[in-house]
Amino acid sequence: MDTQPPQRKVDLPEIVEPPCWEVGPPNFQKFLCELPDFAPSGSVLCVEGVDTSEIQQYLSSRPGPFENETNQGFLKLRPKIYFMTISEENLKGLASLSERYAEPEVCSHLRIYNGEEIVLSWHDLPFDPFYVAGGIDETAVRRFCEMLGCDNLAYLTAG
């Protein structure tokens, strides 16, 4: 097994910019369970603002290709950020653990990266919509939305 040390996070984008899809908001556990079928192969889940030690341990034991950012600084003002490779096993485990907590305890923001490109961003979950990059196939976005039971889907353009 080839184990590479995690890379330092370069300047990864943090939000999906228009043109993009606005979807929202789904049930968080269902979102996690359906995500492996939607995310491009080899994608990475980035979760920010993890407050529970059980979920922090789970994410730490499944490191992704980018280095986790768990140093909150002297005043503990920075959120903890974890990167985990998207797989059915990883996300079903996270979904199962997250059932015990309110969504904001699990994370406040999440992002999906395919390489260094952002595919999806969901800030201030669970109440705000999430955004999918405009380059993702419309059929795939609509199928994902249908699987999640989301009624709200809109294509946003710049301006």
Is 93 inside a domain boundary? yes
pLDDT of residue 7: 55
Find the range with the poorest average confidence among 3-12, 32-41, 64-73, 91-100. Answer: 3-12
Cβ atoms of residues 145 and 23 within 8 Å? yes
C-alpha closest to that of 50 among 116, 113, 102, 127: 102
Give the other-Cβ count within 10 Å of 153's Cβ: 17
Inside any domain, residue 124 = yes
The answer to whether position 59 is within a domain reads: yes
pLDDT tens digits for range 12-45 = 678 898 999 999 899 999 999 999 999 999 999 9
The reply to whether 12 falls in a domain is: no
Residue 4 in any domain: the answer is no
Number of domains in the chain: 1
Per DSSP, what are the bridge partners of residue 63? Answer: none
User: Looking at the domain assignment, is residue 35 inside a domain?
Assistant: yes
Q: What is the DSSP string of 107-125?
A: -SEEEEEETTEEEEEEEST
Q: Determine the structural domain holding residue 137 and report its residue range.
A: 26-156
User: Is 21 contained in some domain?
Assistant: no
- Its sign, for the CA torsion 131, 137, 142, 144, is negative
| pTM, full prediction | 0.88
pLDDT of residue 77: 72
145 pLDDT exceeds 60?
Answer: yes
